[in-house]
Amino acid sequence: MKLSNILFTAALWSLFMSNTSAQENKMVINADQGTQTISKHIYGQFSEHLGHCIYGGIWVGENSSIPNTRGIRNDVVEALKRINIPNLRWPGGCFADEYHWMDGIGPRENRPKMVNTHWGSVVEDNSFGTHEFLDLCEQLNCEPYICGNVGSGTVEEMSKWVEYITFDGESPMAKLRQQNGREKPWKVKFWGVGNENWGCGGNMKADYYADLYLRFSTYCRNYGENKLFKIAGGPNVDDYNWTETLMQKAGNRMNGVSLHYYVVPNDWKDKGSATQFDENEYYRTIGKAYFMQELVEKHSAVMDKYDPQKKIALMPDEWGAWYNVEPGTNPGFLFQQNTMRDAIIAGVTLNIFNQHCDRVKMSNIAQMVNVLQAMILTDNEKMVLTPTYWVFDLYKVHQEATMLPMILSSNKCENNGKVMDAVNSSASIDADGKMHITLVNIDLSNEQIVSCDIKGHRVSKVSGQILTSPQVNDHNTFDKPNTVKPSDFKGVKMDKQNLSVKLPPKSVVMLELE
Q: How far is CA 445 from CA 318, 504, 506, in A?
A: 31, 9, 8
**How far is the C-alpha of 11 from the C-alpha of 292, rounded, in Å?**
35
CB within 8 A of 338, min separation 6: which ones? 274, 373, 374, 377, 386, 387, 388, 475, 476
* Selected catalytic residue, list 279, 318, 400, 414: 318
Same domain, 165 and 215: yes
Residue 366: how many CA atoms within 13 Å on its side-chain side?
A: 26
CB within 8 A of 75, min separation 6: which ones? 66, 67, 383
Q: Which of 401, 416, 440 is the last residue of a domain?
A: 401
- The answer to the question of residue 344 being in a domain is yes
Same domain, 172 and 314: yes
**How far is the C-alpha of 194 from the C-alpha of 196, rounded, in Å?**
7
DSSP state of 341: H
Same domain, 442 and 372: no
Same domain, 104 and 206: yes
- The answer to the question of residue 14 being in a domain is no
DSSP characters over 35-47: --B--GGGGEEE-
- The answer to the question of residue 16 being in a domain is no
- The answer to the question of residue 1 being in a domain is no
Same domain, 224 and 333: yes
The 3-state DSSP composition of the chain as helix, strand, coil percent (nearest 5) reads 30, 25, 40
- The answer to the question of residue 47 being in a domain is yes
Is residue 318 within 8 A of residue 372, CB to CB? The reply is: no
- The answer to the question of residue 4 being in a domain is no
Show pLDDT as tens, one digit a residue, over the chain (514 residues): 333 333 333 333 343 344 444 579 999 999 999 999 999 999 999 999 999 999 999 999 999 999 999 999 999 999 999 999 999 999 999 999 999 999 999 999 999 999 999 998 899 999 999 999 999 999 999 999 999 999 999 999 999 999 999 999 999 999 999 999 999 999 999 999 999 999 999 999 999 999 999 999 999 999 999 999 999 999 999 999 999 999 999 999 999 999 999 999 999 999 999 999 999 999 999 999 999 999 999 999 999 999 999 999 999 999 999 999 999 999 999 999 999 999 999 999 999 999 999 999 999 999 999 999 999 999 999 999 999 999 999 999 999 999 999 999 999 999 888 899 999 999 999 999 999 999 999 999 999 999 999 999 889 899 999 999 999 999 999 999 999 999 999 999 998 789 999 999 999 999 999 9
Same domain, 354 and 410: no
Q: Which of 401, 424, 458 is the last residue of a domain?
A: 401
Q: Which of 383, 401, 419 is the last residue of a domain?
A: 401
DSSP characters over 237-266: TT-HHHHHHHHHHHGGG-SEEEEEEEE-SS
Same domain, 70 and 179: yes
Per-residue 3-state assignment (H helix, E strand, C coil) for 271-284: CCCCCCCCHHHHHH
User: Could you confirm whether 196 is annotated as catalytic?
Assistant: yes
pTM for this model (two decimals): 0.94
Quote the domain boundaries for residue 501: 25-33+405-513
Is residue 253 within 8 A of residue 230, CB to CB? The reply is: yes
- The answer to the question of residue 13 being in a domain is no
Per-residue 3-state assignment (H helix, E strand, C coil) for 76-104: HHHHHHHCCCCEEEECCCHHHHHCCHHHH
- Specify the long-range contacts of residues 268-275, CB closer than 8 Å, at least 24 apart: 270/324, 271/322, 271/323, 271/324, 272/323, 272/324, 273/323, 273/324, 274/321, 274/323, 274/324, 274/326, 274/336, 274/337, 274/338, 274/339, 274/342, 274/475, 275/337, 275/339, 275/473, 275/475
Q: How far is CA 315 from CA 89, 116, 287, 299, 385, in A?
A: 12, 26, 21, 11, 26
Please give the tally of structural domains in the chain.
2
* Selected catalytic residue, list 143, 163, 196, 244: 196
